[in-house]
Structure 1
């Protein structure tokens, strides 16, 4: 092909291509005469419009669900049809109509200005809500014609959709007044400066539910909420409110409407397995119905539900007989019910013939009377219905739509319209009717030049008095919190109805508890706790990895008590007191000492007295046989002195028995020390006498006996004893023993004991006794093999060995024995050593005196028999 042909083809393409494109555009323009912001289906066709000088837009969720969208992507995406018609939402729509008509008739509010409205279905879904809002503020409709754009919007009912709308419309400075969006997050004015609402923030009702849980002692509460900002925000506020109160969230489940069956089953499984008997429910009433029916199917009917305002007064749920058992006793926070004068008559006179363009009223009519209007088939029902006769009337119909006994959300919608009207009244500088100048007629400035931004500014400053005489104003975009508290109760005919049992005014919770009916047949308030409260005598111990509401109850240790239920710690008793066996009360400690009334005290006292009696008996025997050789040979004077000291040793042990006192503490150690020194001194002198007598029998040693005669013997005993007396006197004068209460040995008992005072003094007393005993046993050991037929030194050796063994064993036994047992050990040591000396020294002599009198001769003693 030549170059000229190629150049010609290229030129043709360049010239004809723009024309081809323009032609295509013209054809497309002819096919679609205009381009709408919204698709014609399911939006404008379901809207309701009335012209006026100023248009108020309103988003009402007349439908609650959208059909599953077509996601095949083989055709142009369109909004799915709306499903699940809501009768009471049509009543909200009519509140807008009624309020606008009422304002237009008012001579004082907006005189000379006629309000109009544009109401559209939000379908409870974001795309429908957003497109409807854009359609209303732009003034577009399905015929590509134009209507007056709305200067502000009333709606939406959902918090999540209101957040979306507020963020979208905020740059345009278009005001949004919601009648039901209660999420606390919408109170942040910096984020949502164009948002206002005639319903209190969820923060208040969530706080109210937390106060109710605290008041009734429910520390283990579950939560089932809708999966949007309304539900999640409420749980967040509830969790913040219960911090530090001992209340815990047992579980938290969300319900997403598009997968409601799955979410309801999952939530019901958790409720069934949980020990939480109080369930917080923030959800749309149709979602609540599905949840409750699933619980009924699982036979879980003993739970108490805390209902949010969205379903706490739902006639739809109250009218369902299947829910009578499970929902009885429900406690709910309800929006305040306020009557609207004339509204009931407005609803009763509604008829499709008077409002032929109202598709919502057409759907309500077909649902109510079960007939089909002559116009195109309803968007609600697809079934073939008989035609309506035209004589149908709402005058005597009793339904959700016509019931105006408890107007809550409806009144909020009504207030929103009036708030918008008062803002317009202020913006247009309307002249009041009661002006003093009769020449001035009430009128407003022109509406042609007002902008949404100006209206937004005036809405924030709205302050007017309602028909009921109440002051209305916005506080951070919301109204002050006022709620009713309701309780679902069984009526005489078996049906359910809700009864007001209190109210909430600000932060004040007022409840008439006697008017509450609880779930089940027991009529007792349910208990909802992870762990039952710890009884008195125990304390809470948090389980690792679990909330603070789940705990173990540990008994208080000895000496500590908890005298209240649910105590988090035990408290130590005062020093003079101790915990009882139940660890719930401090009782005076038991006084413990070695008493003469107990078995041990009686036994030791009896043994001591027996020892003294035996010693006295031996003394009598010796006295009776004082002229016999054996008594004379054993130095009768020292023997009697030894017997006296032994008797004192036995008797001194009695001072240790009984309650310690100042005199007994000082006497017992002194008497013990002096008695034993006197006893050991006598034995020591006797041993010395034996040694001296033996050595004096040797040639040239006769002078020894003269130097250690009876006088020297008595003097030696006296000197040895006086040294101990001096030691005791210094001890008692410097730091004497004294009674004291010992709290540290036995917790439940106070040990009454004697302190030693000066440890040095006590050591000197014992050390001196030990020194004399050591010298005595040494001398006796040297004299044990003297060549006499009756060798007293041998018996002295045995007695001193017993004495030393007893007192050596005494030291560890005394130190390791607690309380009164240490005193018993000391008494035992005194008695054992005393008996050892008595038996070893005097029993052999008494044996000869009483049983072997033939051996009681001088010859036998001298070894000549």
Structure 2
């Protein structure tokens, strides 16, 4: 809707322009004379000033005929603007301003026009164009005018500026506006000769957006006046809001208040109240709000934040509306300005002169048919009214002042005044265009130049209304600079209109912000209205306003409702962990027992106890047990490739060698006492041809081949298991439960089962040859240890499980050592009387007698 109305407004401004021209030309009389009444000053080069010295004349006529501007009420703002131009020209002519060497020997003149309506601005532009037409194409027998303006200063609003900018652009007459901020005027293809000393609305919209973001006012209503200024500003702000997560709950265009429109305006107020917004952005001209705010006061609205554009926020016309102070906090944009030194005294001097001057003595100078109706206002009458200045007047007057100095600097350059004085010559308006684009000077410590679009580089001040009794002031509380974009606001200077129980900055949100770790779930058509949902585990959200949670990186994790990810815990059996230290002490004790026992057995190798236990085979068994126990060292610390290759095969092969020895020894004992008589030849041949040794070697080689093939086909490597725990990384060796490892473990289990069977068969043999109970106990310990470990491994992979793995290794070694070797070492050390041939013969005889 805003786009359509904006286009309609633009087509009205340009499409009907030439129709107005025809009607205006027919409506203007001829033969009148102009009085020198503050609106004209003779000089060498002329400026034209377009100022609203009176308010609009509204008629019911359908044709855009210009009524006499003097029929309207005096416009004190326009009066101050005109005085600012006159003051700047007087400073330059009298060499009393900030640049006393500017235009030496050159006198500036001016024509001031009362542009009380759009039609008046169009007519004033035609008057300037008529002079240019006579200069470019003079009629036979006529002389070109010598007081043709080179530059136009004004008009005041965007709506009034656009038609004049099109007309003046056709003749490339430079035009510098002091209040027209519509961003469309920056289009050089349409307005080639347009400049301005007020920032464009693009910058103002950016400033408003930054203020809304600064205070997190994301749920707003947006109103704009039904002219080019309001429509374009409202459209731009609406578009930019979407990029900054600002939702417009209600948007409408403010018409001029008439009897027909009053109810529509009341409905707008009700609609705003229904949306429950706290912040209302008003991008509007003063004239529209002058009729709107009384209706807001009528509805007893309180506690709102009114964010205003520069056109009205500093205007006494709005602030003086009865009851407006009860509506809430008024915050807005104000054009940056500096107080012009001496300007106040200049106006007071004009006021004093207006009381004593005899207007009947004014000289009468003919203007021609188009100028009469625009220069008939009496400036001395306006001066006598003693109009006070407010912040809005100061800002706009400063912009007029700068515009005059910009023209003077361009003219100074064109006349070559820097080299031996100014050269007197005729200058066409279009010749100043490139020089205006290059002017650069400072006024009141404020740099002034135009960019490629004819816009100044200045930003906006952030101002607030403060009430002191019945009086109000506009206080600067911050500023916005566009290059680079920067907003500063001193919140402590703002006096918020808050309920009695509120102490902080008011908020204006459809839904309160979600806590960190919660995402938004939109609940309506506006993305500012939402529910908050907690982020699930392994995701996070460290900002407010996002609608989706972010997954954590692979090596990080997060619990539910997290605002950041945490490093996963690394799970491995550290060397310095208390449990590791205990296991290492146990391992050291185990290695000491096995190696110490091997030394003892080696020293008593020819004794009956050692021979009955297997003789030299005992040393092999103890060596294998030592190697099996040493494999536990591969389980400590961070996994390494050599450690992964060794830890399981080293234990399985070493323990298999020990089991093979025990199995063969049990088989020998069983055969000697139970089967030797049945198979005497076969057993003797097997025993005499090193059958036990070859059997042990063959079994060990078979298990070794299985392990080597498993490692070669699918070598285990250090790995990081990221799936087992969401918050931890298991550092282990790969393929712990691979098919090859199961085959490897199955071989060891089969061998242990065979060993258990043969040992159990010798349970009734002589005591010196009967280790059935001890071996069976050892193998039960071995099996239970590994069953517990693998059961625990399936449900847990933490450091405790890794410790259980080490404990299973050591318990297997200690079980065999305790069941098989410890009794023999005990006899050798503590019962030497039992380590004799006689004792063993006696045991065998007793066994034989019992069998008989």
After TM superposition, the score normalised by the length of structure 2 is: 0.59
- Match of 1:409, SS state, is helix
Alpha-carbon distance in structure 1 between the residues aligned to 2:496 and 2:224: 21
**Residue 677 to residue 764, structure 1, CA distance change in 2 (3 Å):** farther
1:771: Cα distance to partner? 5.4
Q: Which residue of 2 aligns with 1:66?
A: 58
Residues 743-801 of structure 1 show CA distances to partners (whole Å, capped at 9, x for unaligned) of 534343354546789999967853542554687799999x99xxxxxxx99x9999999
Q: Note if 1:408 corresponds to 2:395.
A: yes
| 548, 569, 578: which one aligns with 1:589 | 569
Alpha-carbon distance in structure 2 between the residues aligned to 1:405 and 1:258: 22
Q: Which residue of 2 aligns with 1:178?
A: 177
Q: Which residue of 1 aligns with 2:334?
A: 333
- Match of 1:407, SS state, is helix
Alpha-carbon distance in structure 2 between the residues aligned to 1:536 and 1:599: 39
Alpha-carbon distance in structure 2 between the residues aligned to 1:410 and 1:499: 18
Q: Which residue of 1 aligns with 2:346?
A: 342
Q: Note if 1:487 corresponds to 2:463.
A: yes
Q: Judge conservation of contact 2:50–2:115 (CA < 8 Å) in 1.
A: yes
1:459: Cα distance to partner? 6.7
Alpha-carbon distance in structure 2 between the residues aligned to 1:70 and 1:326: 37
Q: Which residue of 2 aligns with 1:257?
A: 255
**Residue 219 to residue 105, structure 1, CA distance change in 2 (3 Å):** same
Q: Judge conservation of contact 2:664–2:692 (CA < 8 Å) in 1.
A: no
Aligned ranges 1:189-338 → 2 under 5 Å: 189-213=188-212, 223-235=222-234, 246=244, 248=246, 250=248, 253-258=251-256, 261=262, 264=265, 268=269, 272=273, 278-292=279-293, 301-328=302-329, 330-338=331-339
1:334: Cα distance to partner? 2.6
- Match of 1:519, SS state, is coil
Q: Note if 1:497 corresponds to 2:473.
A: yes
**Residue 551 to residue 266, structure 1, CA distance change in 2 (3 Å):** farther
**Residue 477 to residue 573, structure 1, CA distance change in 2 (3 Å):** closer
Runs of 5+ in structure 1 lacking a partner?
1-33, 140-147, 359-391, 437-441, 610-634, 785-791, 842-856
1:309: Cα distance to partner? 1.9
1:256: Cα distance to partner? 3.7
Aligned ranges 1:30-41 → 2 under 5 Å: 37=25, 39=27
Q: Which residue of 2 aligns with 1:162?
A: 161
Q: Judge conservation of contact 1:59–1:156 (CA < 8 Å) in 2.
A: yes
Alpha-carbon distance in structure 1 between the residues aligned to 2:676 and 2:442: 136
Residues 429-452 of structure 1 show CA distances to partners (whole Å, capped at 9, x for unaligned) of 8999x979xxxxx9998xxxx9xx
**Residue 311 to residue 813, structure 1, CA distance change in 2 (3 Å):** same
Q: Which residue of 2 aligns with 1:95?
A: 83
**Residue 779 to residue 357, structure 1, CA distance change in 2 (3 Å):** farther
| 98, 118, 121: which one aligns with 2:116 | 121
Aligned ranges 1:831-850 → 2 under 5 Å: none
Q: Judge conservation of contact 1:652–1:668 (CA < 8 Å) in 2.
A: no
- Match of 2:323, SS state, is helix
Alpha-carbon distance in structure 2 between the residues aligned to 1:435 and 1:598: 96
Alpha-carbon distance in structure 1 between the residues aligned to 2:694 and 2:406: 121
Residues 602-660 of structure 1 show CA distances to partners (whole Å, capped at 9, x for unaligned) of 99x99xx9xxxxxxxxxxxxxxxxxxxxxxxxx9969xx99x999x9999799869956
Alpha-carbon distance in structure 1 between the residues aligned to 2:531 and 2:181: 36
Query: More relative contact order in 1 or in 2 (CA 8 Å, sep 6+)?
Result: 2
Q: Which has the larger radius of gyration?
A: 1
- Match of 2:25, SS state, is coil
Q: Judge conservation of contact 1:166–1:192 (CA < 8 Å) in 2.
A: yes
Aligned residues: 712
Q: Judge conservation of contact 2:459–2:481 (CA < 8 Å) in 1.
A: yes
Alpha-carbon distance in structure 1 between the residues aligned to 2:283 and 2:686: 112
Q: CA RMSD in A?
A: 7.1
Q: Which residue of 2 aligns with 1:615?
A: none
Q: Which residue of 2 aligns with 1:749?
A: 728
Q: Judge conservation of contact 1:324–1:495 (CA < 8 Å) in 2.
A: no
1:314: Cα distance to partner? 0.8
Alpha-carbon distance in structure 2 between the residues aligned to 1:350 and 1:222: 47
Alpha-carbon distance in structure 1 between the residues aligned to 2:47 and 2:784: 116
Alpha-carbon distance in structure 1 between the residues aligned to 2:389 and 2:319: 16
**Residue 549 to residue 645, structure 1, CA distance change in 2 (3 Å):** farther
After TM superposition, the score normalised by the length of structure 1 is: 0.59
- Match of 2:114, SS state, is strand
| 493, 504, 507: which one aligns with 1:516 | 493
**Residue 128 to residue 826, structure 1, CA distance change in 2 (3 Å):** same
Aligned ranges 1:251-650 → 2 under 5 Å: 253-258=251-256, 261=262, 264=265, 268=269, 272=273, 278-292=279-293, 301-328=302-329, 330-339=331-340, 340=343, 341-347=345-351, 350=354, 407-413=394-400, 454-458=428-432, 461=435, 478=454, 480-482=456-458, 485-493=461-469, 495-502=471-478, 507=483, 511=488, 513=490, 516-521=493-498, 524-527=504-507, 555=535, 558=538, 582=562, 584=564, 586=566, 589=569, 591=571, 593=573
